[in-house]
Chain A
Amino acid sequence: MRNTLSELQEIFRSTFGDDELEISESSNADSVEGWDSLTHINLIIAVEKHFKIKLATAEIAKLNEPGQNVGSFVRLIDSKSK
C-alpha cells in the first residue's frame, strides 16, 4: 500500500523548491508559501506524471475551490490510481 501523502510531500518539495517542506492533510494554499495559481498548475502536472494519472478538467477546477486542501488532493489521487 503506497503512502500517498509522503509521496505527495516529495512532489511539493520539488515543486516549491524547499527540501524541508512538511505538509499534512490540512495544509492548504494559505499555509504553504508560494502556492499560487501558477505553482498550482505545476503541482498538478508533477502529480499526474508521478502517479501516472490524468485529472479531468472538472477535477482540476475542484481543487481550486475554497476549503480544498492537501487532504482533498490525496483522496483524489487515491481514487484515480486505484
Chain B
Amino acid sequence: MSTVVDNQLVLWEKTQSVITATAESRPVAIREFSSLAKKLLVDPELHSLVASNLARAVSPFLDYSSAMVLFQLRNRLKKAGFKHPNSCRVALLGSSTTHQIEHVLDLFLFSYGIELECKESEYGTFRQELLNPHSEIYQFAPRFIILATADKDISHFPPLTASRPEMESSLAAELQSWKSLWESAHKYSNAQVLQDNFLEPTARLFANHELRLPGSRGSFIQELNRSFSLEAPPFVLVHDVNYLAGIFGRTKWSDPRFVHHAKMPCSPDALVEYAHSLSSILASQCGVIRKCLVLDLDNTLWGGVIGDDGLGGIRLGQGSAEGEAFQSFQSYAASLATRGVLLAVCSKNTDSVAREAFEKHPEMKLKLSDIACFTANWDNKAENLRAIAKSLNIGLNSLVFVDDNPAERAIVRENVPEVMVPEVGDDVASYAEIIDRWKYFQTTGVQAEDLQRTAYYKADELRKQVESSAVNMDDFLASLKMEALVAPIHELNLERSAQLLMRSNQFNLTTKRRTSSELSALAKDPAWFTLTIGLRDKFGDNGLISVILACEENSELNIDTWLMSCRVLKRGVELFVLSELIIEAKRRNLHHIAGKYIRTEKNALVVDHYRQLGFEKTGEADGWTSWRLDIDTLKENPKSYILRNAQHSI
C-alpha cells in the first residue's frame, strides 16, 4: 500500500526527468509523467500535488504535442474540481483559429498559478466584436483583450512602386484603422488590449533590396510595427510577435499546410513560443513577477574554483574562449541589473575569497555594487536562498537561481520549490539564451525606476546602518530629511503606479491588481481620489513608493487600495498618507474614512495597519477585516517627519 509520501517521491522523480530532459528525450519523459499523474488523480487528496508537479513540468521548450499531453492532464484536474485561486479573464480575438492558442495559453497560465477564463470570438469577427458596444466580448467583461491578428488583416498596403510620401499616407490610414479599434475597445471596456504586431514576410519580392523600396511589403510592415510601438496608448500593449518569429526562426515559424487546413496562425511548435510569450505578459500584468537573479560563482561567473585556483587561476575574460563566455554571461547579468532586476550571489565559498574576485580581478564585468545581496558561505543553498529573500524583503517566488552544478540545482528545486531553477546545463555560453527564453523578468512596462532599483536597495543598506547608530527613532527619522512628492495618478506616473499595483505584495491592504487602463479610468472619475507618493531623503530619491485609491461612497472616503513599497517601511509614510486622506475627506465634507484588510499569503505585515492608525474595527470575516476612522474625533493631525511637496512633478 502506497502512502502520500511515496506518491510524492515517485511523481517528483518523473517531474525531474521532464525538467532535465533534452529536446529528444522530453516527449517520452512527458508521456511517462502524464501517465503516472493521471493515475494519481483518482485520489482527490493528491490533486494539489499533481497540480504543482504539472506546473513545474511546463516550459517554453515544449513541442506542441507534448504541450497537448500536459494540457489534457490540466483539463482532467479542472474537471476534477481543482482550481487556482487567481484567475484572469481574457477575450481572445483573432483572424485565425484561436482554439489551439487558448489551450496552450491555458497551460502556461496554469503553470504561473493562474486560471484562464477565456472567451473566444467567432472566426474572423474581431472587428465586429470590437466595434459593437453590445458584443459578447464586452458582455464577458474581460480584463484583457488579445488581438491575435496577422498581415492578412492589413488593409492599406501601398502599391509596390509607391514613393515614400505615398507609403506614409498608407501608413497613416492603416494606423488610424487600428487606433479606432483600440479606442473602441477602451470606450466599451476597461480591458488592457494586447495587440500582436506583424511578421516581416519570409518571401521577399525584391530579395536583398526589399528595404530600399518604401512600398515593398517588408518595408511597410517594418514601418507599421514601429508605429505600433511608438504610438500605442497606455491601454494597448504591443505583443512583439515579429521578434518571437525572429528568434524562433522565420521559416520554422509559419507552416502553410496548417494555415490551409486548420487556419492555424503559425506552425504548431511556434504556437508554444507564442502562447508562452503571451502568458508571461499576462502573468506579469496579474502581479506574478520574478525580481531577482541569484548567481552561483565558481564555474558560473568564472571558470574554475576561486578557493583552489586563486585570483590568477580562474578563467575569465579575453584570451580564452571559455573566459570570454563567462565574461559575456556576466555582461548579460549586469545588463539585467541596469534595467531593475536585482542580482544576488549564492555560493559555497569563503566570503572574503569570493569578494576578492569582485574587487580585484580586472576582467570582472560584475562589480560588488551590482549585487544587492552577497551570500558566500558553506551552508546549504536552500537555506541561503531563504536568507537572500528575507534580506531583500521579497518572496522566495521572486527568485531565479542559476548554478552550473546539477546537484545544487536538484537540491534547490526539491527544497525551495518556489524558486525557479532553469536547467542551464554546463556550458555557460548558452546560459543567457536559456534564461532569456524563460522570460522570467517580463515587465509590465519599462520605467525610469527600474533602471535604478539596485541603487535604491543599496541606499537602503546605508539607511539601515544609520538606523542602527541613531539614538532613537524620532531622531533617526528627523535626520533622514524626508520629502514627499504628492500627486494624483496622471499620465506621467500611470505606468509606474500600475507597476506598483502588480508588484507589491507585502504592504498591500487589499492586493487588488489593476492594469494601467483600469487605473487611468479611475483617475478620471471624480468619485475617486488617487494619490501617489514619491519619497526623497538625504541618501537619494526612492522614486514613487506608494499608491492609494479611495472612492467616495455612502458619505465615507472608502480606501480601495493602499500599498507601499517595502523599501520605505517604518519611515512614517503611513501617517503622512493618512493626513493626506484626512485633507481629502475634509475637502469633500466627509467625516469618515473606511478601509479594508484582505488577507493573502504575503500581507501579514499590515494585518494591524488600520488599528495602529487609530481606526476602529467594524467588521470581520474569514480572510478580511473592515475598519473606520471618525475624523472629527481626532485631537490632532497625524504627525510624520516628512515634508510635503506638491510642487515638483514626479
Contact = CB atoms under 8 A, between A and B. Distances in A.
Given A19-B38, A49-B27, A41 B65 contact: no
Nearest to A19: B35
Interface stretch (B244-252, B255-263, B379-387): B255-263
B369 to A, nearest CB: 48
A55 B68 contact: no
A46 interface: yes
B264 A42 contact: no
Nearest to B267: A45
Contact of B65 (A14, A37, A55, A60): A14
Contacts, number: 43
A42 B257 contact: no
A42 B70 CA distance: 13
Interface string B126-159: 0000000000000000000000000000000000
| Interface size band for A | 10 to 19
B63 A49 contact: yes
Contact of B68 (A15, A57, A60): A15
B61 interface: no
Nearest to A42: B68
A1 interface: no
A contact patch SS:
helix
A46 B262 contact: no
B257 A60 contact: yes
Interface residues of B, number: 24
Interface string B46-90: 000000000000000001110011001101100000000000000
A46 B34 CA distance: 16
B65 A46 contact: yes
A23 B294 CA distance: 50
Interface string A47-79: 001000001110011000000000000000000
Contacts of A46: 65, 68
Nearest to B268: A45
Contacts of B72: 17
A57 B65 contact: no
Interface string A18-53: 010000000000000000011001100110010000
Interface in B92-113: 99-100
B38 to A, nearest CB: 7
B247 to A, nearest CB: 21
Given A17-B72, A19-B35, A19-B38, A45 B261 contact: no
A45 B389 CA distance: 43
Interface string B198-238: 00000000000000000000000000000000000000000
Contacts of B73: 17
B77 to A, nearest CB: 12
Contacts of A17: 38, 69, 72-73, 75-76
B31 interface: yes
B262 A14 contact: no
Interface string B26-37: 010001001100
Contacts of A38: 99-100, 262
A57 B38 CA distance: 35
Interface in B236-291: 256-258, 260-262, 264, 268
Nearest to A47: B65
A58 B27 CA distance: 28
Contacts of B27: 49
B268 A57 contact: no
Contacts of A42: 64-65, 68
A14 B257 contact: no
A57 B260 CA distance: 8
Nearest to A58: B257
Contacts of A55: 257
A61 B73 CA distance: 29
B268 to A, nearest CB: 5
A38 B102 CA distance: 13
Contacts of A60: 257, 261
Contacts of B258: 41, 45
A49 B258 CA distance: 14
A58 to B, nearest CB: 10
Contact of B64 (A19, A45, A56, A57): A45
12 contacts: A17-B69, A17-B73, A17-B75, A17-B76, A42-B64, A42-B65, A45-B258, A45-B268, A49-B27, A56-B257, A57-B256, A60-B257
Interface of A: 14-15, 17, 19, 37-38, 41-42, 45-46, 49, 55-57, 60-61
Interface of B: 27, 31, 34-35, 38, 63-65, 68-69, 72-73, 75-76, 99-100, 256-258, 260-262, 264, 268
Given A14-B69, A45-B64, A45-B258, 11 more contacts: A14-B34, A17-B72, A17-B76, A41-B262, A42-B64, A46-B65, A46-B68, A49-B63, A49-B65, A56-B257, A57-B261
